[in-house]
Amino acid sequence: MKQHEREYFVSRVRSGFYDIKHKESLITVLTPSIDDEFYINQAYMDSYNKSLEKGLKTEDEMIEWMMERNLWLEEDEERIKGLNKDLERLKLEIYQAANNDKLKKQIRLYLRAGERQLLEMSEKKSRYFLNTCEGIASTEKVYETLRRCAYNSSDLCNFDIIPIDVIANKYFRLMLTQTQIRELARTDPWRSIWAINDSNAFKLFNNKDRELSIDQKNILVWSRMYDNVQESLDCPPDDVIEDDDMLDGWFIHQKNKREKEKAESELENTMNEKVSNSDEVYIVANSQKDIDRINRLNNPHANMIKKQRESVIKAKGKAGQLDFQDEKLKIRSEQTRQFKDKFRR
């Protein structure tokens, strides 16, 4: 994004309104007041309840209906979960490859491909969303927002003569993407504005006693997020902060680090001294969540040994201590140490 584009988007976010051109008309959509928000949410509730009374399906019921007709499969659900895990893994890998431009470029290609696949799967899952109680109520919520907050000159917009669905589509297309918001939040002119926002004489937004817009909320969230990153004891270099993929990887790295430290602390509190000093500890897992938590306690070397042992057991059906390569190396190392000690005496 060029400087003049950032200046334009920042000024639009701060203004607290969106201008929509429709034929010869200019429609201005303000952010809702507190009262407006209540009536907008009430419109959602009324619409949702009317749909329920008519016997329309909820979103969950629609998914069940789709699965009964093989329009959505368990494999599709697992695919979405797998893609989310793959994207998280790739973001962690691109952060870890911060100094390898060739590898970063390759990982980024996989990331974009994964995001496209996830979008396709999400669209497939939600293809009938607009026909559900939630979908119909969401549409009514948007329309009520426009009825209360869209102005043509100084008067509320007359949607008897202007198609509200067309204005709604144009309204949503004006919303900034997360990528755009993140770039604005970490660069000038917003970064300088944000730095002086505590000044009593300074006004961050011009909402005129109205609520924050979606873009305003998002830029506030990301501004504070970047502040937290800068203040972190493990603050990453600027090239990581300026790269959304790598910074997401840094977030994942920090989350994994905290979860591992927490799990280790909990494990130490539940174990006696003899167990905690052991080379290997076997813990019974009662759920997939427990399995994931236990696996995070292993370091990369331990995970590699675990995979090697699982391969041996899978190939042989059962295995003893000497069937494992790591145990053979351990015994050989101990024998070598004892041999050297013998000649030192």
| Residue 224: predicted pLDDT | 97
| Residue 210: predicted pLDDT | 94
Is residue 314 one of the residues assigned to a domain?
yes
Is residue 319 one of the residues assigned to a domain?
yes
List, for residues 188-204, the tens digit of each pLDDT value: 999 999 998 876 667 89
State the amino acid at position 278 in one-letter form: S
Is residue 84 one of the residues assigned to a domain?
no
- Binning pLDDT at 50, 70 and 90, where does residue 339 land? low
Higher pLDDT, 277 or 184: 184
How many domains in the chain?
1
Residues 6+ apart with CB under 8 A from 253: 92, 95, 96
Is residue 345 one of the residues assigned to a domain?
yes
Is residue 322 one of the residues assigned to a domain?
yes
| Residue 302: predicted pLDDT | 66
State the amino acid at position 146 in one-letter form: L
User: 33 pLDDT exceeds 90?
Assistant: yes
Is residue 325 one of the residues assigned to a domain?
yes
Beta strands in the chain (DSSP E): 17-22, 25-30, 150-152, 155-156
CB 157 within 8 A of CB 27: yes
Residues 6+ apart with CB under 8 A from 265: none
User: Considering only CA atoms, which of 142, 148, 200 is closest in space to residue 171?
Assistant: 142
Tokens of 4: 């003049």
- Binning pLDDT at 50, 70 and 90, where does residue 292 land? low
State the amino acid at position 172 in one-letter form: F
Is residue 338 one of the residues assigned to a domain?
yes
DSSP string, 254-295: HHHHHHHHHHHHHHHHHS-HHHHTSS-------SHHHHHHHH
User: Considering only CA atoms, which of 139, 130, 136, 134 is closest in space to residue 164?
Assistant: 139
| Residue 208: predicted pLDDT | 85
| Residue 141: predicted pLDDT | 98
Burial of 181 (C-beta count, 10 Å sphere; 0-12/13-18/19+): buried
Containing structural domain, residue 317: 300-345
Burial of 149 (C-beta count, 10 Å sphere; 0-12/13-18/19+): buried
- Checking 211-218 for CB contacts under 8 A at 24+ apart, the result is 211/31, 211/32, 211/33, 211/34, 211/36, 211/37, 212/31, 213/13, 213/16, 213/18, 213/31, 214/175, 215/12, 215/13, 215/175, 215/176, 215/181, 216/13, 216/14, 216/16, 216/31, 218/176, 218/178, 218/181
Is cis: bond before 189, omega within 30 of 0?
Answer: yes
Tokens of 174: 């004006």
User: What is the C-alpha separation between 239 and 188, in angstroms, rounded?
Assistant: 16
| Residue 203: predicted pLDDT | 85
Question: Once rounded to an integer, what is the mean pLDDT over residues 74-90?
Answer: 97
User: 276 pLDDT exceeds 60?
Assistant: no
User: What is the C-alpha separation between 61 and 52, in angstroms, rounded?
Assistant: 11
User: 108 pLDDT exceeds 70?
Assistant: yes
Higher pLDDT, 181 or 342: 181
Is residue 318 one of the residues assigned to a domain?
yes
